[in-house]
Amino acid sequence: MLLPPDDEYFMRQALREAQAAYGDGEVPIGCVIVKDGKILGRGRNHMETLQDPTAHAEILALGAASGALKNWRLEGCTLYVTLEPCPMCAGAILNGRIAKVVYGAQDKRLGALGSTYNILSENPINRKIDIVPGILGGECLDLLKSFFREIRIRGPKKKLAASDHPDELSAAEQVPGRNLSELSGFEEVDSEMDGDIDGEFEEDS
């Protein structure tokens, strides 16, 4: 069934990118950039593959969208990302003149859209950027938790075959949409994820 081009639909597209990252053995974070109902750029976390600390999903999607438009000014564009952006990505979002950011799970360790800093809503150039948190947040978080659980069992940096992990997205699609109303419930699971992400990032660096 074709879903209308709304926030949930595009977050599912970002989730697909995150799943592809999972299959590559990367921390599963995905991003798409949309203008007028069309996806201009996609990105997924590629830090391990590229051995590049800037290869976050958002940075790669911003590059792809700018390339597609042949313009770095991404005015009128919405960025969808499965995890709250870090300070680096929030800065790039600001520089790229993105109009709206929709994210899934909160990142209490590095999130720069309210969890640690408020880089977009309190920016010094007074650029107005709409922020919508918590779209499919539970599913975005489940994918991350599943990844770190598997890393703990198998060890890091193994490329995972598609059949090696459950098809989270297909299963998730059968669950009624989770939304902002569930965000308050993330407090508890977030602290668990923080430990996971903390541990893995520390170990990899």
Which residues participate in catalysis according to the annotation?
58
Q: Does residue number 56 form part of the binding site for Zn ion (CB under 5 A)?
A: yes
Report in angstroms how near the CB of residue 88 gets to Zn ion at its nearest.
5
With contact defined as beta carbons under 8 Å apart, do 147 and 22 qualify?
A: yes
Tokens 């800037």 -> residue: 54
- Can you tell me the distance from the alpha carbon of 5 to that of 1, in angstroms, rounded to the nearest whole number? 12
Q: Does residue number 172 form part of the binding site for Zn ion (CB under 5 A)?
A: no
Q: Which residue in the set 89, 93, 143, 144 belongs to the binding site for Zn ion (CB under 5 A)?
A: 89
- Give 97 or 165: the residue with its C-beta nearer to Zn ion: 97
Residue type, 49: T
* Burial letters 74-85, b for 16+ CB under 10 A, else e: beebbbbbbbbb
With contact defined as beta carbons under 8 Å apart, do 165 and 22 qualify?
A: yes
- Give 84 or 172: the residue with its C-beta nearer to Zn ion: 84
- Give 84 or 142: the residue with its C-beta nearer to Zn ion: 84
Residue range at the interface with Zn ion (CB under 5 A); choices 78-86, 96-104, 120-128, 136-144: 78-86
Q: Which residue in the set 86, 120, 135, 140 belongs to the binding site for Zn ion (CB under 5 A)?
A: 86
Q: Does residue number 46 form part of the binding site for Zn ion (CB under 5 A)?
A: no
Report in angstroms how near the CB of residue 89 gets to Zn ion at its nearest.
3
With contact defined as beta carbons under 8 Å apart, do 43 and 30 qualify?
A: yes
Report in angstroms how near the CB of residue 87 gets to Zn ion at its nearest.
8
- Can you tell me the distance from the alpha carbon of 191 to that of 178, in angstroms, rounded to the nearest whole number? 19
With contact defined as beta carbons under 8 Å apart, do 103 and 139 qualify?
A: no
Size of the site for Zn ion (CB under 5 A): 4
Positions that interact with Zn ion (CB under 5 A):
56, 86, 88-89
